């Protein structure tokens, strides 16, 4: 396995920690779905641990195509998150599932192409890890120093990453609803009509949530 994969995976895990704890802070008004963010943390920790051994130990028999796909996905994840973070650093946005009132529409940087680049960057990283672990599980060598059978590791990782993707979608739907609802999200606050109209215009202009010009 090329030494770049452990480095990329470590950077991805640091990206996750930075995003959930620093760049997108918990708002003073709390969270809409507290249990959902607890699930997200559980799934993230589970996936991170399950993929750690395969992605940080050397595998002489690692399929070349899996290394290329995994590296490409990790690089895409890190690049997209960096671009998104630079585009939102002055906006003080909330962590996923935050109970917030939107005050402006961001339509620059990656937001000019997809509506939820943050979640896409997360998904790309977890998919990268999943591709590599599944590829390793189908080799004769398997995972060295494995503390869990490869088939069980793969099944649990797929379940955890699937759960994360569902939670990212739920977070995206909540954020879109907060832009459009004409009622208090936070007590005493209401999304301004200009923001609602601006967001509807943005949705018409940028129809893709996840993949530019596709979906």
Write out pLDDT tens, residues 133-170. Answer: 998 887 755 666 577 888 899 999 999 999 999 999 99
Q: What is the pLDDT of residues 104-129, one digit of tens each?
A: 999 999 999 999 999 999 999 999 99
3-state secondary structure of 187: coil
* Distance separating alpha carbons of residues 120 and 138, to the nearest angstrom: 27
Angle at 171 between CA 113 and CA 126, to 5 degrees: 75
3-state secondary structure of 31: strand
pLDDT of residue 59: 59
3-state secondary structure of 142: coil
Over 90: is that where the pLDDT of 7 sits? Answer: yes
Q: Distances from the Cα of 91 to the Cαs of 115, 158, 170, 191, in angstroms? A: 16, 34, 22, 16
* Distance separating alpha carbons of residues 8 and 195, to the nearest angstrom: 38
Could you tell me which residue, 172 or 143, shows the higher pLDDT? 172
- The answer to which of 11-15, 52-56, 144-148, 204-208 has the lowest mean pLDDT is 144-148
Summarize the confidence of residues 192-214 as an average pLDDT. Answer: 95
pLDDT of residue 186: 77
Is residue 93 within 8 Å of 27, Cβ to Cβ? no
**Short-list 20, 139, 16, 145, CA closest to 78:** 16
Summarize the confidence of residues 5-14 as an average pLDDT. Answer: 96
Q: What is the pLDDT of residues 10-43, one digit of tens each?
A: 999 999 999 999 999 999 999 999 999 999 999 9
Structure tokens at 180: 């459009």
Q: What is the dihedral of CA 45, 47, 48, 53, to 10 degrees?
A: 130
């Amino acid at each position: 396995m090329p030494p770049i994969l452990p480095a990329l995976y470590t950077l991805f895990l640091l990206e996750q920690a930075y995003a959930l704890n620093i760049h997108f802070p918990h708002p003073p008004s709390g969270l809409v779905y507290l249990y959902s963010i607890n699930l997200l943390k559980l799934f993230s920790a589970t996936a991170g641990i399950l993929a750690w051994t395969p992605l940080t130990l050397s595998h002489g028999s690692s399929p070349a195509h899996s290394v290329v796909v995994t590296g490409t996905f990790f690089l895409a994840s890190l690049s997209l998150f960096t671009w998104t973070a630079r585009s939102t650093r002055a906006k003080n946005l909330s962590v996923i599932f935050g109970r917030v009132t939107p005050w402006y529409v961001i339509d620059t940087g990656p937001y000019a192409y997809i509506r939820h680049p943050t979640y896409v960057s997360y998904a790309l990283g977890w998919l990268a890890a999943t591709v590599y672990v599944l590829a390793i599980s189908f080799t004769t060598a398997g995972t060295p120093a494995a503390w869990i059978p490869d088939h069980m590791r793969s099944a649990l990782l797929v379940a955890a990453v699937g759960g994360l993707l569902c939670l990212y979608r739920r977070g995206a739907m909540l954020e879109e609803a907060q832009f459009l609802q004409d009622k208090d999200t936070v007590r005493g606050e209401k999304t301004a009509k200009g923001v609602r109209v601006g967001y509807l215009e943005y949705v018409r202009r940028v129809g893709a949530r996840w993949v530019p010009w596709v979906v």
